[in-house]
Amino acid sequence: MNSTNKLLLISSLFISVFLLGCDSKESLNASKTENPYEKKVDSILKLMTLEEKLGQLNLPGAGDITTGQAQSSDIAKKIEDGLVGGLFNIKSAGKIRDVQTIAVEKSRLKIPLIFGMDVIHGYETTFPIPLGLSSSWDMEMIEHTAHIAAKEATADGINWTFSPMVDISRDPRWGRVSEGSGEDAYLGSEIAKAMVKGYQGDDLTQDNTMMACVKHFALYGAPEAGRDYNTVDMSRIRMYNEYLPPYKAAVDAGVGSVMASFNEIDGIPATGNRWLLTELLRDQWGFNGFVVTDYTGINEMIEHGMGDLQQVSALALKAGVDMDMVGEGLLTTLKKSLDEGKVSMADIDNAVKRILTAKYELGLFEDPYKYCDVNRAETEVFTAENRAFARKVGAESMVLMKNEGNLLPLKKEGTIALVGPLANTAVNMAGTWSVATNQEQSNPLLDGLKTVVGDSASILYAKGSNLDYDLEFEKRATMFGKEIPRDGRTDKQLRDEAVAIALKSDVVIAAIGESAEMSGESSSRTNLQIPQAQKDLLNALLETGKPVVVVLFTGRPLVLTEESDKAPAILNVWFPGSEAGLAISDVLFGDVNPSGKLTATFPRNVGQVPIFYNHKNTGRPLGNTEGKFEKFRSNYLDVRNEPLYPFGYGLSYTQFDYSNIKLSTNSIDVKGTIDVSVDVTNSGNYDGKEVVQLYLRDLVGSVTRPVKELKGFQKVEIKKGETKTVTFHLTVEDLKFYNYDLDFVAEPGKFQVFVGTNSDTQNGAEFELTEK
């Protein structure tokens, strides 16, 4: 902050009082009952006109502002008039400094702006898509990815991210399953806490931390038919037990803001749902940050049938919304609603207070330019160190689905054929919602292979097929600059070229699956198979008799029944991020032993959807697990009940054996604890990491209980030939659930505990919770 700017700020009569005595160590959500900035905020509020108050609730999009031209941009006049509280998706410290200058030097009250961006899974250094990242089951690593993202984004001027997305989803038709952490509330809660801690650190006033925004509150991941933005309708008991915990975990971790979801809940859109945004979020959970809408969320309530813009804007404010993204309904209608008595000044003031408090929490009143050091980006963004970590994270997130005959790892020798439309497309490696990524700088698989094998092996490449036979579908699936140039040759010519190089090779790598934008927002699918053009290519490669390794790119669980039957090896790489090619190659050649585990169930066909491991039993459960049909039992005529790949599944290049499961006691009371231990032996030929998973079943309850629930996991590194004893510590808190009256209780009775390598494990023991 230069001396001129300091003088301008200090000389301002309106804000000099507010800056005195600001303690940089006051942290967000440090108290659920007290606001340490209350006096400062109230003193500003007394000076504000109604228009300036409404301006703080306004979050327009910035568009593309060129550095040095912010003064003449369309938004500049509104900022100068105090009609803007923040901007989003403007990038670079120089541009942001220009815009911030208008707010703190030209507006009447000199109130700084907050700057947000969708920093979802990294900034310019991009990590695997969130679904892939969750498959690492490594909370420390996940937290560090968020810290790196915060460090890079803040170096470029951003101080608020619209992340983490913690929506539980059991329906892979829904495209945004790629942005979440899968189907389980326990694992999702642990990841939510890690992400919030990674973004916000211990002190939000530090210039390398940023405010997080948990989204989409709530239940956005359960739309009917898997269609984005569609109706959500579920019981409160399912809501509390299976969908709400990750949001609450983020709140308990001190998240600074919450984004309302697009969907309705109990017939009222989340953006206008007072039970959700006030009674649950603030009154029950004690959240004291601010609530922002999703993009035009207020305006979209008109289409929901909730009234005109004035009506829905008042509804949103009364429900608990504090900031309006893009729609400007609060800015343009609340004066009239106030005059008509439809909202009160207290309603408006409460929202303004929350926005101003957040700006104090970020230290923006103390130094509005703290994130605007144009030199930071040169040394802190997309650094060699960050890229090396992204390479490690990418490899740790991959899931080995099949490895018949130990085809993998490959040897760095001979001739290797690389085939497929996803083999050489840098712009698709980062996956969906990678808005800050320089896509062209990402490392495609072809380049990664060549780098890793060097002169030790020969790499032959052919595209083999287009992404899809249907050109129009391919256009929809490769939007936002992620096109895969369509080859002008016929489909047969493309396949023939691929077969020709396969016949010359010792092994074939088929890089197939989804493009980056086949998943993500507004990318729902009813056909969950790999596109037919690529299936035909794979079949042609398999017919050569050469060993084929499928490198699967995907943003969701796919139907892989045919591929699983035919291909000897399948490595699910998700979308690994900026260092994709290197990370994939590290795993293919055994420099990294895969240790990822699925966090979402892979169905046998789309008819099984929604499918998830922690389902309820029925009164007529199927009496076998061999897929045998039983009439008048809960099963299908045409497919077995079990998924193709269960939650928690993932292979390794080595073998892990479980034995000697022990309980420290067979009975505990409400104040007791129980230790569950298991011996895990690496009996294979490689050092490796295993995610040891603990599940519980409550055998008798006042309401029906799931057949199994994840209650603990540990990722442990075990050298070949070594045995480690892994111990879990359970308390009565781990046995609690929300009952019919939505009381959080642990009920006396018997419990089964299972410990194993995935959710299908049957290794376990039994203990009892007593009343005393």
* Separation CA 87–CA 63 (nearest Å): 9
Q: Which residues neighbour 691 within 8 Å (Cβ) at sequence distance 6 or greater?
A: 137, 595, 597, 648, 650, 713, 714, 715, 757
Q: Which residues neighbour 275 within 8 Å (Cβ) at sequence distance 6 or greater?
A: 265, 266, 268
SS3 58: strand
Residue 4: the pLDDT is 39
What's the residue count for the chain? 772
Q: Which residues are catalytic?
A: 294
Classify residue 33 as exposed, middle or buried by CB count within 10 Å of its CB (0-12, 13-18, 19+). exposed
* Separation CA 326–CA 299 (nearest Å): 9
**How many helices (H) and strands (E) would you count in the chain?**
23, 26
Please provide residue 509's backbone torsions phi and psi, each rounded to the nearest 5 degrees: -105, 120
Rg (the chain; Cα; Å): 27
Dihedral class, residue 212 (left if φ above 0, else alpha if ψ from -120 to 50, else beta): beta
Residue 68: the pLDDT is 52
Rounded average pLDDT per 10-residue block, the chain, 772 residues: 40 37 37 78 98 98 60 81 95 95 97 97 98 98 98 98 98 98 98 98 95 98 98 98 98 98 98 98 98 98 98 98 98 98 98 98 97 94 98 98 98 98 98 93 97 98 98 95 94 98 98 98 98 98 98 98 98 98 98 98 98 97 91 96 98 98 95 96 98 98 98 98 98 98 97 97 92 78
Q: Which residues neighbour 628 within 8 Å (Cβ) at sequence distance 6 or greater?
A: none
Print burial letters for 55-65: b (CB count within 10 Å at least 16), e (below 16): bbbbbbebeeb
Give the count of beta carbons closer than 10 Å to the beta carbon of residue 549: 22
Please answer whether residues 199 and 161 qualify as being in contact, where contact means their C-beta atoms are separated by less than 8 angstroms: yes
Classify residue 345 as exposed, middle or buried by CB count within 10 Å of its CB (0-12, 13-18, 19+). exposed
SS3 339: helix
* Terminal-residue alpha carbon distance, the chain: 63
Using alpha carbons, select from 547, 545, 560, 441 the residue that is nearest to residue 512.
560
Give the count of beta carbons closer than 10 Å to the beta carbon of residue 212: 31
Angle at 126 between CA 120 and CA 132, to 5 degrees: 70
| pTM for the full predicted model | 0.94
Print burial letters for 501-527: b (CB count within 10 Å at least 16), e (below 16): bbeebebbbbbbbbbbbbbbeebbbee
Q: How many CA atoms lie within 13 A of 270 on its CB side?
A: 25
Residue 764: the pLDDT is 86
